[in-house]
Every structure is written in C-alpha cells, then in structure tokens.
A and B are shown apart, each in its own frame.
Chain A
C-alpha cells in the first residue's frame, strides 16, 4: 500500500487499512473453509490429477496383462532375441495410441455437453468391463 508523503508515521496503519485487511482476512478464512467443506467433484481426493493418474494406470495395466499386445511382444522377443528393439517399437506404438485416444476423447468432449460425455464414458467403461469378463471366461473355458 502506498504511503502518502503527508503521513509521517508509515509504521502505523490507518484505521481504514486495518479494517480493510481484517475484512480481507475474514474473506480468505471463509474461502478456505468453503474449499475444505466442498468435496472435490469427480474422484473425491485432494489431488484429482494424482487420483486420475493412479486409477488410469492401474486399470489399464491390469487389463493389458496377458492381452494380445503383450503376447505379440512376447513372441517377437522370443523370435528375435532383441528385447530392447521390440520394447522400443511396441512402446512408441502404445504411447501413440494413448495420445490418439485421449485426444479423441478431448475432441469429443469439446463438442458435446458434459453430461452426455459422462454418460457415454460411463457406458463405454461398463462395456470394457464386460469385454474383460468375456476375455476371462473365454480363456478359462
């Protein structure tokens, strides 16, 4: 806050300034309380980014274990004995398909309402769960 040259005692804040800062503190306290009380929207946690990262990582990792892509890399390595080259080729392909998938999701999300995208995503994820259960049963039969 600028001190006017006419005010000889800059250490002593004016009454209005004290009142202002008290109001600001009260306002900040109310905001903090509101943020604490408000549950975070989707994945109720302190850090949505971390929660999304972990849940995506775990579900996709579990789904891909023993899947055909993993089997492909397994066979190619067994044939060529060049695990690093196979891993680099497969890995860059997987990063590319992930990037394509997420980009397509964002592209769709920008075009339809949030509610519609959530319903579609929910149905898609349930369908994936059923596909996985189908995989499980096929292998065991």
Chain B
C-alpha cells in the first residue's frame, strides 16, 4: 500500500470538498430532513461512485460523460427540494 499516495489523495480531496457545494447540500439536507442517516448514506454513496468513475476514467480513456446535462439535472433536483422546503405548508394556510 502506497501510504504517501493515499495521504495525498485524502488531503487533496478533503480540502477541495470542504465547504464545497456537495457539503453545503449535505448540511442543508441533513439539517432539514427527518432522516439524516439517509442523507449521510446517500451523500457518501454518491460521492464514492463519482470518485470511482473519476478513477476509472483516469485509467481508461477520455471524458465521455455529458456533464452539462448531468449538472443541469442536479440543479433541477436541488431547486425542487429547495422550493419544496420553502413552500408554505398546507396546515398553516
């Protein structure tokens, strides 16, 4: 096991993710959701899969993902959850 490489990738990724939008999303979702555990598992799983794809692409070939489309879809998803949280609740009307 190459512990130098392990430490370098840990520190690099940890610093670049600290305060990044995924962590902001984890704070927002974890704070407002009734199941913070589900937010943790969902967020970790997604980030692990994204970095796995990064590693596989690094070993393999070029960028093949339609990242524009994916980011657009993610923006829609976050906006939908955000609006649902901001929407006045029925029991208050």
Residues of A that sit less than 8 Å from B by CB: 41-42, 48-50, 52-78, 80-83, 85-106, 108-109, 117-133, 135-136, 139-140
Contact = CB atoms under 8 A, between A and B. Distances in A.
Interface of B: 1-2, 5-14, 16-18, 20-59, 63, 65, 67-68, 70-79, 81-86
B26 A101 contact: yes
Given A104-B31, A133-B72, 6 more contacts: A61-B49, A70-B50, A95-B48, A98-B40, A106-B36, A128-B24
A76 B10 CA distance: 11
Nearest to A50: B38
B75 to A, nearest CB: 4
B71 A132 contact: yes
A57 B8 CA distance: 26
16 contacts: A56-B25, A56-B26, A56-B46, A61-B50, A64-B50, A71-B54, A73-B58, A91-B52, A95-B47, A98-B44, A122-B28, A124-B82, A125-B79, A132-B78, A133-B71, A136-B72
